[in-house]
Amino acid sequence: MAPKYVYSFGSTGTDGDASQRNLLGGKGANLAEMCNLGLPVPAGFTITTECCTAYFAEGKKFPAGLKEEVQAALKKTEQAMGMKYGDPENPLLVSSRSGARSSMPGMMETVLNVGLCSKTIPGLIKKSGSERFVYDAYRRLITMYSDVVMEKAEGIEPAEGKGVRVQLEHLMDAMKHAKGITEDTDLTADDLKKLCDQYKAKVKEVLGREFPDDAMEQLWGGIGAVFKSWNGKRAVSYRRIEGIPDEWGTAVNVQSMVFGNMGNTSATGVAFSRNPATGDNKFYGEWLINAQGEDVVAGIRTPSPLNEETKNDQNRHLASLETEWPESYKELHDIRDKLESHYKDMQDIEFTIQEGRLYMLQCRNGKRTGTAALNMAMDMLAEKLIDEKIAVTRVAPAQLDELLHPIINPESEKKAKPFLKGLPAGPGGACGVIVFTSDAAVASAKAGKKCILVREETNPEDVEGMRAAEGILTARGGMTSHAALVARGWGKCCIVGAGELKIKISAGTMTAGGKTLKAGDVITLNGTRGLAYEGALEMMDASENPRFKGFMEMVDKFRTMGVRTNADTPDDAKIARSFGADGIGLFRTEHMFYGAGSEEALFILRKMIHAGNDEERNAAIDELAPFVKRDIKATLEAMDGLPVTVRLLDPPLHEFVPQEEGALAKLAKALNCSVDEVKKRGADLHEVNPMMGHRGVRLGITYAHLTEMQIRAILEAAAELKKAGKNPKPEIMVPVTCTVKELDFVKPIFDKIQAEIGIDCLYGTMIEIPRAALLADKMAVTAQFFSFGTNDLTQMGFGFSRDDIGGFLSDYLDKKILEADPFQTIDQEGIGQLITMSVERGRKTRPDLKIGICGEQGGDPASVDFCFKSGLNYVSCSPYRVPIARLAAAQAAIKAKK
């Protein structure tokens, strides 16, 4: 016996349900589910994926029995809708749509308005009262049908510009041109009628066949075309990429068309079961009488509010559905309640009222802001609609960002037009006067005037100004440039790589988007979107939500992976701790040489760098020890009881070479040599590719005394705290290693000092060089922990200098060569291999190896999920991303348990 190929849905009976996704496709299963809930869905039927397979198996022939089943289902559909397909008086129109098991957006075909022909047109004109409406629908049917059914499905591959669709569009353009109009909507009913005749003639001319004027022929043409589109070029190559098997096939959904624009008893609207911007538990939406779905969103007519309580200043004067058509409103409100109790989440609803009758076109989980997501999760939990586990999954980690930074008021931003676009490097919004130098930023902040620091790109000398500014805007640099890293570390609004921006510091002006602004002019930045606006936009602080804390406590009930922070100062450490960090995953010793208060330590470091011989160098190193100890001690104290991973000095020394004459002279005096000699010694350190130069452990090996000094300072700091009754937990991490022999070189120095001072301390390494990942089994012989430096691992793995990708990254993203910036989210396909390989090999040598990640991606939710799956013990990220990482880690754990 042949299997059942056709499943009806609608008020007269529904055969399928949501569980039959494989058989009915995603769309078919959802339509069935809505019908089962008793919702007024336009009736129709689904032809199964099995039928598609049979269709191809029989050489593109409909299998036996299908015709009868379709006829029976069509009859049920007609009954449900009270209309008749192909009927001259009361004609039913249908759509024919694809629906695969998993969504293949835009890859397959759709035909709308099927059933419109010379026999049915007059009846529809009579019913709708609009000749224009009917001929417009007819024109669309001819276009879609000739293109999809008569050309593509027949395997015709016309030369570029010779396809039937393009040629029909030319006819329309010619008519508009002849009439001197530009908009389709300016065409009259007569125009459209004439156009339909031209269309049909052109179809005949191009394809050698008449456009079918029989409703049943149209129906079967539409069904066959959807099946055939499963093996269309686009769909096949999409399946190759996504790994979808060819044998799955697609279902076909034949569904009654309903029209909200069929006169003044018709309407259309969209609604949310709760407010998607605030989360308020109030039914919220908009509707328009005698309109189609696209009219609501197009913005030409102002939509009316759904009900009285959600009216606002823009639409207060308009009649709500609640007062206008109270019955429809009540029906819709009941549906809203039904949907929420069924789906247990906020629903985004599309509805149409055709001649007073309400139809549900779609319902799905609604998009929402972070604030709304948090409020809804907590409300639904209180309502006992959902449990804690589900509540935790209801807020996307990235949405938390919004709750942690001031933002531009979205309403205010909607009305403004940005003059410049760049990369969104630091989240939130900022507003202030333009300053072009770090000094000006500091002065402005001192004077109580908020400012935006605008630079070509920033360097360590700008750090004070960056701290003082509300926001930062640079013309160059990528998402992990200096400016971006520093800004994110501080949770500061920042836009980088705004390539169009031209700065003339001498003139005190900047130019972009045809505007020239000068120092002192006010601008506003949206660092979340990378947009800059002229003037002051209204700001708002979204972090006031009292439920944030409760939510995060709940999150930690499910989290199993640690979340640490990258922090170099007691202040950062305290912020991170307040955000729930489990420790510090990366403390950069070099931080003490940047920014305010660093002058003395920096000067000694420079003496070390420019030393003329080992004796001078070692003396400078010894002089540096108290500073190192002081800074580490302060942070260890702030993190008392929690682990603090201290990375030994990492950057190439040339970064610290002074350029300014005064500094050079001071240095020359201290070193008792000429300024020229100081310059020369500095210049000798210049490197062609400093990222792959003399840095990290390579410095620690060349200057073993430097290594010794640092280790001693760290352990002495811990010892002093311990003596004072504290519980310091330092871990020492060696950077830039590529062979275990580097670790083995430093280890005896570590062992000796540790034995001397007697402080417990783990000894580990960054895994940031590809070779170290490949040889992780050997690295783990000496290393007690690994920490993935995914910034460098990505740089070396891709051969992408993060300072220089500005030159081609946007091309790569635009041309889809890369799916995402790999410095923002771990490239799981490539760099991910190095990570999983390291974890596996490292733990093979040392089963209890502690493994974390301290690259920028440690705060990216997708990367946190990947780290969890890879078996890492913790991620580490900038303080402001700690809550995001905590949530992502909890969600990963929940997902894994499923």
Query: Got the DSSP string for 24-65?
Result: HHHHHHHHHHHHHTT--PPPEEEE-HHHHHHHHHTTS-PPTT
| Full 3-state SS string of 456-514 | CCCCHHHHHHHHHCCEEEECCCCCCCHHHHHHHHHCCEEEECCCCCEEECCCCEEEECC
Minimum CB distance to a copy of itself, residue 739 (Å): 6
| Closest alpha carbon to 418 in 527, 309, 317, 345 | 527
Q: How many CA atoms lie within 13 A of 697 on its CB side?
A: 23
823 in contact with a copy of itself (CB under 8 A): no
Starting at the edge strand found earlier in the chain, the sheet holding 509-512 runs 502-504, 509-512, 515-518
470 in contact with a copy of itself (CB under 8 A): no
Amino acid of residue 834: L
Strands 451-455 and 429-435 come out as parallel
Minimum CB distance to a copy of itself, residue 441 (Å): 24
Q: Which of 211, 548, 656, 800 binds a copy of itself (CB under 8 A)?
A: 800
Using the rule CB under 8 A, give the single segment among 220-228, 366-374, 800-808, 884-892 that binds a copy of itself. 800-808
Minimum CB distance to a copy of itself, residue 778 (Å): 8
DSSP 8-class letter at 147: I
816 in contact with a copy of itself (CB under 8 A): yes
Distance between CA atoms of 553 and 825, rounded to whole angstroms?
26
689 in contact with a copy of itself (CB under 8 A): yes
Q: Which of 216, 692, 719, 894 binds a copy of itself (CB under 8 A)?
A: 692
Task: Pick the closer one to a copy of itself by CB: 115 or 832.
Answer: 832
* Catalytic hit among 35, 52, 494, 854: 854
Minimum CB distance to a copy of itself, residue 812 (Å): 7
All residues at 6 or more sequence positions from 458 whose CB lies less than 8 Å from its CB, including other chains: 466, 472, 474, 477, 481, 482, 483, 486
Using the rule CB under 8 A, give the single segment among 160-168, 658-666, 690-698, 873-881 that binds a copy of itself. 690-698
In sign, the C-alpha dihedral spanning 818, 820, 823, 829 is negative
Minimum CB distance to a copy of itself, residue 883 (Å): 32
Bridge partner residues of 730 (DSSP): 644
Amino acid of residue 345: D
Q: Residue 361 in 3-state DSSP? A: strand
Task: Pick the closer one to a copy of itself by CB: 97 or 482.
Answer: 482
Q: Which of 156, 540, 691, 762 binds a copy of itself (CB under 8 A)?
A: 691
Q: Which of 16, 418, 797, 883 binds a copy of itself (CB under 8 A)?
A: 797
Using the rule CB under 8 A, give the single segment among 45-53, 349-357, 737-745, 858-866 that binds a copy of itself. 737-745
Q: Greatest CA span in the chain, whole angstroms?
A: 105
Task: Give the number of other Cβ atoms within 10 Å of residue 776's Cβ.
Answer: 28
Q: Which of 398, 431, 834, 889 binds a copy of itself (CB under 8 A)?
A: 834
Site string for a copy of itself, 593-632 (x = CB under 8 A): ----------------------------------------
Q: Which of 337, 383, 808, 813 binds a copy of itself (CB under 8 A)?
A: 808
770 in contact with a copy of itself (CB under 8 A): yes
Task: Pick the closer one to a copy of itself by CB: 355 or 456.
Answer: 456
Minimum CB distance to a copy of itself, residue 713 (Å): 23
Query: Got the DSSP string for 739-753?
Result: SHHHHHHHHHHHHHH
245 in contact with a copy of itself (CB under 8 A): no
698 in contact with a copy of itself (CB under 8 A): yes
Distance between CA atoms of 270 and 332, rounded to whole angstroms?
11
807 in contact with a copy of itself (CB under 8 A): yes
How many Å is the Cα radius of gyration of the chain?
Answer: 33
Distance between CA atoms of 311 and 304, rounded to whole angstroms?
9
* Catalytic hit among 52, 196, 451, 482: 482
Q: Tokens 């993190």 — which residue?
A: 639
Task: Pick the closer one to a copy of itself by CB: 590 or 677.
Answer: 677
**Continuous H helices in 758-806:** 770-774, 776-782, 790-798
815 in contact with a copy of itself (CB under 8 A): yes
Q: Residue 836 in 3-state DSSP? A: helix
Task: Pick the closer one to a copy of itself by CB: 573 or 831.
Answer: 831
Distance between CA atoms of 765 and 743, rounded to whole angstroms?
8
Task: Pick the closer one to a copy of itself by CB: 92 or 839.
Answer: 839
Distance between CA atoms of 706 and 24, rounded to whole angstroms?
68
817 in contact with a copy of itself (CB under 8 A): yes
What does the buried/exposed string (b/e) look like for 492-516 if buried means 16 or more CB atoms within 10 Å of the residue's CB? bbbbbbbeebebeeeebbbbbeeee
Q: Which of 659, 799, 847, 898 binds a copy of itself (CB under 8 A)?
A: 799
769 in contact with a copy of itself (CB under 8 A): yes
- CA dist 875 → 583, 821, 833 (Å): 10, 19, 17
Minimum CB distance to a copy of itself, residue 814 (Å): 10
Q: Residue 102 in 3-state DSSP? A: coil
Using the rule CB under 8 A, give the single segment among 33-41, 406-414, 662-670, 770-778 that binds a copy of itself. 770-778
Q: Which of 745, 786, 868, 880 binds a copy of itself (CB under 8 A)?
A: 745
Is 363 annotated as catalytic? no
Minimum CB distance to a copy of itself, residue 669 (Å): 23
Q: Which of 13, 38, 129, 830 binds a copy of itself (CB under 8 A)?
A: 830
Distance between CA atoms of 112 and 115, rounded to whole angstroms?
9
Question: Quick one: tokens of 843?
Answer: 């733990």
- Output 73-77 pairs: Cβ under 8 A, ≥24 positions apart: 73/6, 73/7, 73/8, 73/45, 73/254, 74/45, 74/219, 74/254, 76/8, 76/10, 76/12, 76/13, 76/43, 76/45, 77/8, 77/10, 77/12, 77/43, 77/44, 77/45, 77/254, 77/256
Minimum CB distance to a copy of itself, residue 689 (Å): 4
801 in contact with a copy of itself (CB under 8 A): yes
Angle between the N-to-C axes of helices 49-57 and 215-229, in degrees from 0 to 180, rounded to the nearest 10: 90
687 in contact with a copy of itself (CB under 8 A): yes
Distance between CA atoms of 659 and 393, rounded to whole angstroms?
52
641 in contact with a copy of itself (CB under 8 A): no
Instruction: With residue 708 as reference, give the H or E element that holds it.
Output: helix 704-723
Using the rule CB under 8 A, give the single segment among 216-224, 274-282, 388-396, 681-689 that binds a copy of itself. 681-689
Is 196 annotated as catalytic? no
Using the rule CB under 8 A, give the single segment among 39-47, 271-279, 349-357, 792-800 that binds a copy of itself. 792-800
504 in contact with a copy of itself (CB under 8 A): no
340 in contact with a copy of itself (CB under 8 A): no
Site size with a copy of itself, rule: CB under 8 A: 49
Q: Which of 69, 792, 821, 865 binds a copy of itself (CB under 8 A)?
A: 792
736 in contact with a copy of itself (CB under 8 A): yes
674 in contact with a copy of itself (CB under 8 A): no
Q: Which of 395, 649, 714, 796 binds a copy of itself (CB under 8 A)?
A: 796
Q: Which of 811, 820, 895, 896 binds a copy of itself (CB under 8 A)?
A: 811
- Catalytic residue numbers read 482, 854
Residue numbers of the site for a copy of itself (CB under 8 A)? Answer: 685, 687-694, 698, 701-702, 736, 738-739, 741-742, 745, 768-771, 774-775, 792, 795-801, 803-805, 807-808, 811-812, 815-818, 827, 829-831, 833-834
